[in-house]
Amino acid sequence: MTPPTILQTQAPEMESFVFEHKALPQISLKSTSSKDGGVSFADWENFKFAPIRESTVSRAMTKRYFNDLDKYTESDIVIIGAGSAGLSAAYVLGKNRPDLKIAIIEASVSPGGGCWLGGQLFSAMVLRKPADQFLTSLGIEFEDEGDYVVVKHAALFMSTLLSKVLEFPNIKLFNATAVEDLITRRDETSGELRIAGVVTNWTLVALNHDTQSCMDPNTINCNVVLSTTGHDGPFGAFSAKRLEEIGKPPRGASYDSSKGKNESSSTSSFELGGMRGLDMNKAEDAIVKGTREIVPGLVIAGMELAEVDGSNRMGPTFGAMALSGVKAAESVLNALETRKKQNESCYGGIPLQ
């Protein structure tokens, strides 16, 4: 019998499409007079877009997205939640450490959390001083009312902050993406458990695990996770609730990365404190002061922290969200090198690519 031969196949050449390029219309945002004496911004009768093939659009999107997935699957920092606290932290981190790779994971299609409006769907946004200093750094105008300031529309704050964060070349936002779990590492010598990344999936998939067969997730390794998922809700307080399931740490514990040990030795009795009722004066101070590395490799900030510590909610005043983000960036950077060394020394530890 003649032995089988390998069939040599050659991929067909990609079909090429050539468009005739003509001079494109000029658009002027400064009005000029039209022939009939009206206002004109362009010659709309002869207006036409540059030609494009549908597959070109598809390739332009998919190539860049999957390049980003490949690049950020090993990140320095992962921020869970693109609300006011998470984006404020991202802004500070981007300004101070352009050398770091920072991935932001947001479950919603639209980033911004609850910061597109003020209280009860009103427009104005109130921030107590000294949060006005953060607004000034962003170049956002406000009305000074003495002990507090007012931005004319909360969307002005959020859109400005979001646009500045997205301008950083070392920060990538993955929206419509949910964090389903945390990657953990246990120190073989001390037995200490730390967080070393996140488990992700499309949000629409995460919401439908009960309606479909197994749909496995993806992963992102990192050295520090910053969780800012807000108070309890569909995706709220995610990391805090997951820690309760894992059993770390005890309520009120924090991790001092400079000392290398937990303030409390117990590691198996963590219970959520549960957010308390509204008290603006107590709440905002508690959130900012309490922002910290909760367990090795995991910093929690914003309203998620109220679920951990059992602190009050503050309602429609937003200064603590911005400044908790600033302190979170500080906590992340203070822990980063220690966590990096730990991750690179354990199994699966490789230098960032």
Of 194, 183, 181, whose CA–CA distance to 338 is shortest?
194
Of 225, 125, 111, whose CA–CA distance to 175 is shortest?
111
Of 99, 160, 92, whose CA–CA distance to 125 is shortest?
160
- Confirm whether residue 303 is marked as ligand binding: yes
- Confirm whether residue 320 is marked as ligand binding: no
What is the chain's length? Answer: 353
Q: What is the spatial distance between Cα 243 and Cα 140, in angstroms, rounded to a whole number?
A: 37
- Confirm whether residue 215 is marked as ligand binding: no
- Confirm whether residue 313 is marked as ligand binding: yes
Q: Quickly count helices (H) and strands (E) in the chain.
A: 9, 18
- Confirm whether residue 276 is marked as ligand binding: no
At a CB cut-off of 8 Å and minimum separation 6, what does 46 contact? 25
Q: What is the spatial distance between Cα 33 and Cα 177, in angstroms, rounded to a whole number?
A: 48
Residue whose token pair is 């458990």: 193
Q: What are 193's strand-pairing partners?
A: 186
- Confirm whether residue 167 is marked as ligand binding: no
- Confirm whether residue 53 is marked as ligand binding: no
**Neighbour tally for 316: CB within 10 Å:** 16
Q: What is the spatial distance between Cα 195 and Cα 299, in angstroms, rounded to a whole number?
A: 10
- Confirm whether residue 61 is marked as ligand binding: no
- Confirm whether residue 321 is marked as ligand binding: no
The DSSP H or E segment spanning 133 is helix 132-138
Q: What is the spatial distance between Cα 112 and Cα 218, in angstroms, rounded to a whole number?
A: 24
Return binding residues for substrate: 85, 106-107, 114, 179, 216, 231, 303, 313-315
The binding site consists of: 85, 106-107, 114, 179, 216, 231, 303, 313-315
